[in-house]
Amino acid sequence: MTSQLSVKAFRFLVAGLAVYWFSWLFWGGSWEPFGGPFRYLTNWALTLSTVSSLLLLGRSFGLIKGRNDGLIGLTAVLNGMVVMLYWRLYLADPFLVSPTEDTSITAQGWYLHLVGPALQWIDALFIHRSFRKPLESATLSVITLLGYIGWIEWGVSPRVNFPAGKVSTGFPYPFLNDLTLDGRLTFYATNLIMALILLGIFFGLAWVIRSLLEREAP
């Protein structure tokens, strides 16, 4: 009973934070220029985190019957991509990810790029014990990332003139505007491969965790 209450409390916390920042995204964020907050992969991941956390909370109360392993795996992978890309670029040069002169990390930034993803991973690995459908998660991950690439290449960049780089304008992350099409394609391909590798790592961790926890269970 105590364990069930703890899971419900944890999922309330995770879902509450996700809904709060998702709501702020819609009503407190800027919708200019074209694409608004959805120019950023981070906010695609936040949307998935909100949906996944609500599904898992509903599951704790018996309102959701399905496991949704494919979606939860996709959420974990996309959050992983956001964390890796953001911190790798930020630590190299904060201006690679910030289009403004203010490169300090806000409370929202810490949540989106570290705390929120970590909470999702904890539930997926230790509570829900997900990653049981890696092929479905891999398919969803590739489709989602290709969708995002198409969105910024053909939807956002042609309609936005900020930030401006050495080669192009309008890509939400400043460093992309310094890359030629070939350079961007290489970057995209590399990160698609990294997403599949990350899913493989999550699958391996989940298998080990499930094995250990099931072995210890009475």
Structure tokens at 203: 């699958």
Q: H helices within 28-103, ranges in order?
A: 41-60, 69-92
The more confidently predicted of residues 27 and 49 is 49
Beta-carbon contacts of 84 under 8 Å, excluding residues fewer than 6 positions away, are: 194, 198
| Amino acid code (one letter) for 34 | F
pLDDT at 155 over 80: yes
Instruction: Summarize the confidence of residues 185-200 as an average pLDDT.
Output: 96
Q: H helices within the chain, ranges in order?
A: 2-27, 41-60, 69-92, 107-110, 116-122, 134-150, 181-216
Sorting pLDDT into bands at 50, 70 and 90, what band is 1? Answer: very low
Contact 119, 45 (CB under 8 A): no
pLDDT at 53 over 50: yes
The more confidently predicted of residues 99 and 24 is 24
Task: Identify which of 42, 32, 199 has the alpha carbon closest to the alpha carbon of residue 131.
Answer: 199
Sorting pLDDT into bands at 50, 70 and 90, what band is 217? Answer: very low
Sorting pLDDT into bands at 50, 70 and 90, what band is 92? Answer: confident
Sorting pLDDT into bands at 50, 70 and 90, what band is 54? Answer: very high
The pLDDT, as a whole number, for residue 100 is 61
pLDDT at 3 over 70: yes
Q: What are phi and psi of 150, to 5 degrees?
A: -60, -40
Average pLDDT, whole number, for the chain? 91
The pLDDT, as a whole number, for residue 94 is 82
- Residues 56-67: pLDDT tens digits? 999 999 999 889
- Global pTM reads 0.92
Beta-carbon contacts of 184 under 8 Å, excluding residues fewer than 6 positions away, are: 153, 176
- Residues 128-149: pLDDT tens digits? 999 999 999 999 999 999 999 9
Percent of the chain whose pLDDT exceeds 90: 74
Phi-psi region of 35 (alpha: psi -120 to 50; beta: other; left: phi over 0): left
